Amino acid sequence: MAEALGKPISGWGPGSQWAPFSSLGVDTYYSRENEKLAAIAVDPFYGPQVSYDGVRLVSRLPSELNPWVEKSAESLKDMPQGLNGLRIGLNGEVGLPGLGLVLRCQQNGDHVRTRPVFVAPEWAESCTDSREGSIPQREWGVY
């Protein structure tokens, strides 16, 4: 996924920011400034399994990932300001800007499962900000 982020797209209409790939279980989001792919959200129930450093990130109980999140945040402490450490969004989303990752949640009956959103570097600093960040409002409504 990292290789796909920031690549130009063809046939994209100006002003459009979202394209669902429901059969693949992913939603893609595009930058309005340069029409490049800027974020990929993975559906916890229909999406592909995605791992980082051997840790499965998709469709987990959020509490299962807490130790990994804390360890990852600590490893990012020396990153440039804005990308270092851990961010908590207004809706409780956990973000690791240095990895370009927001661990959102999606409802499944009485439980929620992780819905990772991978973002391009230009969206990373404000990746958990549902009001002023670059991730389109449509994504924050998925639960």
For residues 51 and 108, give the distance between their C-alpha atoms in angstroms, rounded to a whole number.
21
pLDDT score recorded for residue 82: 75
Phi, psi of 63, rounded to the nearest 5 degrees: -65, -25
Q: Running along the chain, 143 residues long, what does each successive block of 10 average in pLDDT? A: 52 63 87 87 95 95 94 88 86 92 92 94 92 89 80
pTM for the structure as a whole: 0.85
pLDDT score recorded for residue 50: 96
pLDDT score recorded for residue 98: 93
Burial of 56 (0-12, 13-18, 19+ CB in 10 A): middle
pLDDT score recorded for residue 111: 87
